[in-house]
Amino acid sequence: MIPRIEWPVLRRDLSRVEAARYLGISPSKFDELRHGDRIGPAKILDGRCLDEFLDALPLDLGSTAQMEELLDQKSAAKLLRLSVRTLERHRIAGTGPRFCRLGRLIRYRKSDLREWIECSLQTSTSDGRQ
C-alpha cells in the first residue's frame, strides 16, 4: 500500500490583489484581463475534492531518481556560452532550448540544454539552418 503523502496546505481564497501579485501583474491589469474573459473565473474546490485530486497524482515512491536541477537564465546562458539576451531572443523566437515557466520565473533543465545542442549539430556549413 502506498503511504499517504501530506501535501502542504495552500491558501485557497486569494484576493484579487494577491492573485494579481501571484501572476506578476498589477491589480488593474488583472481586472482588465478578468473582465475581458482572458482569465477565467476562480475555480472553487472544497478541501476534500482537492485532497482526492492530489492523491490521484501518479507518484513513483519506489524510484530513487532525483528531480533534475533547474537553472536560471544566467546560469543556462553561462553554460551555453551565450549572453542572457541572446538566450531570451531564442526563447521568444521559439528557436531556443525547452524551458519551464514557474510563475514569472524561467528555468532550464540541463538535459534540455544538451538536447538543444545535439539538435543544432551540423556536419557542414552548407547544411540548411533550422
Tell me if 12 sits within 8 A of 51, measured CB to CB. no
Residue type, 70: L
Residue 59 and residue 65: Cα distance in Å, rounded? 12
More confident residue, 5 or 31: 31
The backbone torsions φ and ψ at residue 109, rounded to the nearest 5 degrees and listed phi first, read -95, 145
Residue 8 and residue 10: Cα distance in Å, rounded? 6
User: What digits encode the pLDDT tens for the residues 11-67?
Assistant: 556 677 877 776 778 888 878 887 777 776 666 555 555 556 556 665 554 454 456
Q: Is 88 helix (H, G, I), strand (E, B) or coil?
A: helix
Q: What is the pLDDT of residue 53?
A: 59
Q: What is the pLDDT of residue 15?
A: 74
Q: What is the pLDDT of residue 66?
A: 59
Q: What is the pLDDT of residue 64?
A: 45
pTM for the model: 0.48
Residue 34 makes CB contacts below 8 A (sequence gap 6+) with 16
The mean predicted confidence, pLDDT, of the chain is 76
User: What digits encode the pLDDT tens for the residues 96-110?
Assistant: 999 988 888 899 999
Q: 97-125 burial string, b = 16+ CB within 10 Å, else e? A: bebeeeeeebbbbeebbeebeeeeeeeee
